[in-house]
A and B are shown apart, each in its own frame.
Chain A
Amino acid sequence: MADGERFDMSATKAKVVARDVSVFYGEKQALFDVDLEIGRNEVTALIGPSGCGKSTFLRCLNRMNDVIDGCRVVGSVKVDGTEILDDGIDAVQLRRRVGMVFQKPNPFPKSIYDNIAYGPRIHGLSRDKDDLDEMVQSSLEKAGLWGEVKERLQQPGTGLSGGQQQRLCIARAIAVRPDVILMDEPCSALDPIATAKIEELIDELRESFSIVIVTHSMQQAARVSQRTAFFHLGVLVEVGETERIFTNPVDERTQGYITGRFG
């Protein structure tokens, strides 16, 4: 299991290390023995056809699968060397360290301010009101939304446009200062202009966070990620530098998918 040399990345650079991860939904196995490292301050893209297990894998990393009835995860996932699949690990604390942005923008039906302030509040991260104000501002700034909403922080977050809502969700995720951000097809509900903004934002966030993004768009994977993992039928087929995967895939299934022969 300590055989990290199998991969082209030194163990110290890896933020998250997954080993032999299998996921079962009741009797059905959805993921088969996945070994994957997520690099520090890198964007890792997970690609593959629908139902290939990429979202399932993503949800292992912050144990969101826990809330699905009959879902069982086996194997090992370590974040900064700590095993997170242990029963002793508090999923609530883990999710503060590993944030998540979902496919459909899902702001709370509250004000923009409260959307961002909610995480710091429940985790007790701010000392006082000024502190909280500052956290809200810096999170919105990092998400590139501050300029657009600073005049209307008390208005409902659901009143923003789709792209703004998704950036609000990103700001909400980074407000609790996670180490890793998981993004589950964050642009699939957005138009190309909003998508471009989010992609730009992902590139900036890479400096402070490790990011894992699930995407259906191979162009998007190519644009934003440094490493790409290709999943097929619950198996991790191939992982490597994004450029290499798209120009010179080793496995013929990868080849077939990126050239559009199936998927």
Chain B
Amino acid sequence: MDEPVAPRGLQVTDAEAAHVRRRYRSERRFRLLGAGAIVMALTMLALLVTSIVSTGWSAFYQHSLKLEVYFDPAVIDPDGKRDPDTLRSANYTSLARAALKAEFPEVEGRRDIRALNGLLSNGVDIQLLKMVQADPEIIGQRLPVELIASDDVDSFLKGFIDRDEQESNRRVKDNEIAWLDALEAKDAVVAKFDALFWTSGDSREPELAGFWGAMVGSFLTLLVTLGLSFPIGILAAVYLEEFAPRNKFTDIIEVNINNLAAVPSIVFGLLGLAVFLNFFGLPRSAPLVGGMVLALMTLPTIIIASRAALKAVPPSIREAALGIGASKLQVVTHHVLPLAMPGVLTGTIIGMAQALGETAPLLMIGMVAFIVDVPGGITDPATVMPVQIYLWADSPERAFVARTSAGIMALLGFLVLMNALAVLLRKRFERRW
């Protein structure tokens, strides 16, 4: 940064020159501080993202054991009628275990057999059931199937469990490692993209737990929130800004709305518990109630942002419309509101993003329950993404750590998407005057 020099021929006293130098010095200092602040913020962000991605990336793939499974008709369908109920209640786990035992016929003794069975996930029965339900023709056939490995095996294969550790401190024992090595030598261990994470609901078993249930829950909840808070927020803002008289009463309302925006969100959860659940008797753990509680929380944000946007529309536009005989409502709906729309939408999306990341109020209304099924409607029990992350973070199994980080990545992805949408909508609706 070169300090500008006074034009030649211009007489400058020493005092003046010193003053100018001081001015430039303080400006330089200020710029340096600003740049420093930005660098710090970026470092923190980079740190956060790196730590999440480095722990979470491993949740996106999953190890399976490729075994020859005999779909034994005697086990699946002893009477041969292909009755769906019989097919559903068959003992598929035994088929998977038999396939594994066939690989290691030398394993004997209850304890060793139990350890061998422990290589497979508890979810293999569902896996096989789904195959049979999709195509009953496979009963009686011998097919290679990629059976999901248990979470400990998966962690070991991903390298999170050190085989040089003392055996007593290790979740995967020596004999299990030997079997896995044997399977690996036969190319029977496969690592694949974990589709289950994106398609299933929660589970007690980390290798079976998916985020889809929480994603659908969040979507349904936000749908309710948006459907309530957007129209109510705009109506309230328009009425307060354009129609309501200015008096003590409206002043009190305004102060109260501003205060509501600062109320801790858990208080809204308690309110929802007391009013929606206990008084109105609405279903527990449902996106309907979650959405209503979050709508209460986002309303002040939307009202405040909308009022600011309405206030920013130049009065000349109002006068122009009034001057040619538009009614007050026409002025608002034809001119003021369309011009305020970018601001209103930005406020709404900020509010929705807040609601997307909100956990505390939803704990109060039971959305913290362990829910395996993907919700099909707004009255089904459900959980939401941040609560799912909270639940996983609280689970003892080692493999849930990666799941938690993967969930955070998904949540952050949605937030970025929503913010991108906000920018896009702003650009679309933005008009100049």
Residues on the A chain within 8 Å of B321, using CB: 108, 118
B44 within 8 A of A: no
A108 touches B325 (CB 8 A): no
**C-alpha gap A100/B322 in the complex (Å):** 9
Binds B, one of A72-80, A90-98, A190-198: A90-98
Instruction: Report if A102-B432 is in contact (Cβ < 8 Å); known contacts: A92-B327, A109-B339.
Output: no
Residues on the A chain within 8 Å of B245, using CB: 69
- Highest count of chain B CB atoms <10 Å: which of A92, A100, A106, A109: A106
Closest to B318 in A: A67
Q: Give chain B interface residues in 300-336, CB to chain A under 8 Å.
A: 314, 316-327, 330, 334-335
A99 touches B323 (CB 8 A): yes
Closest Cβ–Cβ distance, residue A122 to chain B (whole Å): 6
Closest Cβ–Cβ distance, residue A59 to chain B (whole Å): 10
Q: How many residues of B contact A (CB 8 A)?
A: 22
**C-alpha gap A107/B330 in the complex (Å):** 16
A169 within 8 A of B: yes
B327 touches A108 (CB 8 A): no
B334 touches A176 (CB 8 A): no
A95 touches B323 (CB 8 A): yes
Looking at chain B's contact residues, the main secondary structure is helix
A158 within 8 A of B: yes
Instruction: Report if A92-B323 is in contact (Cβ < 8 Å); known contacts: A69-B246, A108-B335.
Output: no
Residues on the B chain within 8 Å of A92, using CB: 325-327
A30 within 8 A of B: no
**C-alpha gap A213/B314 in the complex (Å):** 23
Q: Give chain B interface residues in 334-359, CB to chain A under 8 Å.
A: 334-335, 339
Residues on the B chain within 8 Å of A102, using CB: 316, 319-320, 323
A104 touches B339 (CB 8 A): no
A205 within 8 A of B: no
Residues on the A chain within 8 Å of B431, using CB: 109
Q: Name 22 A/B residue pairs within 8 A (Cβ), A-sorted.
A: A64-B322, A69-B245, A92-B326, A92-B327, A95-B324, A96-B324, A96-B325, A100-B324, A101-B323, A102-B316, A106-B319, A108-B317, A108-B320, A118-B321, A122-B325, A122-B326, A122-B330, A122-B334, A123-B325, A158-B432, A173-B323, A173-B324
